[in-house]
Chain A
Amino acid sequence: MSRTHTPVVEQWFTGDGDGFTLLGTRCAACASVFFPREDSHCRNPGCPGGDLEEVPLSRRGRVWSYTDSRYRPPSPYVTDPELPWQPYALIAVELLNERMVVLGQAVPGVTVADLAVGMEVEVVRGVLHEDAERVWTTWQWRPTGETV
């Protein structure tokens, strides 16, 4: 029986492969972009407020900073306490068009030793964790290997 792929948060990302993107919203009045998505009202204090439309965010950006989690994070982060803890890297990525920084996990296997501030990365679909019924999906950052 195949398990359902379920996004860890609904409507924060969409697609697969090269078509995978984070989803934000954009104010029709002032063009401000929000991620996590803002669906009730534009947060620009100088804007009277406009319709908020869903927009994909840039797929590529540059590493603003990075770190890792050497100890098991507490719940609601889901881990298997039976298994030894495997640290993973976290990357804060600057999206140049949106002029914003978005945090995410690195793809499995990429450690802090592989990263540098300014390096180009792209967003890909990843698996956060799996249980009996579902595969919980998330976004992850992967170095493109291209020098910027």
Chain B
Amino acid sequence: MTAEVAVLGAGMHPWGKWGRSFVAYGSAAARAALADAGLEWRQVDSVVGADTVRGGYPGYVAGATFAKALGWQGARVASVYAACASGAQAVNTARTQILAGLAEVVLVVGADAAPKGFFRPAGGDRPDDPDWLRFRVLGATNPTYFGLYARRRMAVHGDTPEDFAQVKVKNAAQGALNPYARYRNRVTAEEVAASAIVADPLRLLDICATSDGGAALVLCSMEFARRHGVGDPVRIRAVSTVTPRYPNTVLDLPDIATDSAATVEPAGETFRASIARAAYEEAAIGPEDLSLAEVYDLSTALELQWYEDLGLCGEGEAVKLLREGATALGGRIPVNASGGLASFGEAVPAQAIAQVCELTWQLRGDAGARQVAGAQVGITANQGLFGHGSAVIAAR
């Protein structure tokens, strides 16, 4: 088991389409996290930014961009990028600095201002970039990959579009209780079924939107938290940042093909399952110890896949778990109590940080109407493009 770091503060800028720069959202989230921690910005030893590829040069050096916006004060700086997993990488960079004794208090910030419509690759002709190739050769947008996974579940496990719709109904009801969520209306199964098909079998309301948003955390050493008068902080017990193992047999974004398993036998677990296992091992807990989970529901069907990959149920049993109400608020293991991406829309570098914000509020008992009663341990999970695993376990 790895040593722990404390979460002293969490802050967010509401998700939406606000028409401002990512710097404004990140700075607002950072100020909120610092206020929540009861710290001055000048008490921060180090700032770690999760990059955005949509903000020009300032987005590639997000840590310095936020440090300048908050007012240069000399802090150590780092900027990290790992697509959807950028936030978890930022948390891990901060944790590593604290555990190595390089910094006592680290500010982690991620923010994005998303374009309208599909995410698209960077410009120019780049035939050696798989992300460019899948658009050029196949027109394969992100939702088409989600459609492939959903259809596969239908064929292998017997899931139905009606099952997928129930994930949206659940998450919309939970998001309606979250003031930071972009979509705060309840949604019915009939409304999901009446929305347009985007990538068969998935409809518009099965697929997450792209949003503006910002999230921030103040992490510190357990010793600093005690000195600061917080004897029982939320603690980060594990951060999983694993990569796949060859041969990777799941067709992952943005690939056109899987690895061949003809000569090397694949591992017994998928990449996504290995992300969770690494986190459980580091925290020395298992799925039975969890009070809640925040997972990356890029689509409704993907949320069901995460139930199985996190070990919340056996393979093929996700729909049963959902239909029993186990993953709704009040159930045995609420998933996406925040409302998830279904209610937020994806603000890429902020999203994995926002997941940890939600765990923090839930574990402190500060989650208001969406509070998971008696929350003790939570996990976040996501997967970034190009082989980035991401999971964080926090406990109280």
Binding site for B on A (CB under 8 A): 8-9, 30-36, 43-46, 64-71, 73-78, 88, 90, 92, 97-105, 112, 116-118, 128, 138
Contacts and interface: CB of A to CB of B under 8 A. Distances in A.
Nearest to A78: B136
Interface string B111-142: 00000011011000101001011111111110
- The 8 A-B pairs at the shortest CB distance, nearest first, are namely A67-B147, A73-B139, A117-B155, A77-B139, A99-B261, A74-B120, A65-B152, A76-B136
Interface string B233-250: 000000000000011010
A75 B137 contact: no
B148 A73 contact: no
A32 B247 CA distance: 10
B21 interface: no
A12 B133 CA distance: 12
B264 A67 contact: no
Nearest to A71: B198
B257 A44 contact: no
A45 B266 CA distance: 12
A78 B136 CA distance: 7
Nearest to A30: B263
A70 B246 contact: no
B261 A100 contact: yes
Interface string B255-280: 11111111110000000000000000
Nearest to A112: B200
Nearest to B197: A70
A70 B152 contact: no
Most buried by A among B136, B139, B197: B139
Contact of B148 (A34, A77, A90): A90
Contacts of A77: 135-136, 138-139
B31 interface: no
6 contacts: A32-B247, A33-B260, A68-B199, A76-B125, A100-B257, A102-B256
Most buried by A among B120, B130, B264: B264
Nearest to B199: A67
B296 interface: no
Contact of A100 (B117, B121, B148, B260): B260
A104 B200 contact: no
B151 interface: yes
Given A68-B200, A70-B196, A90 B262 contact: no
Contacts of A31: 262-263
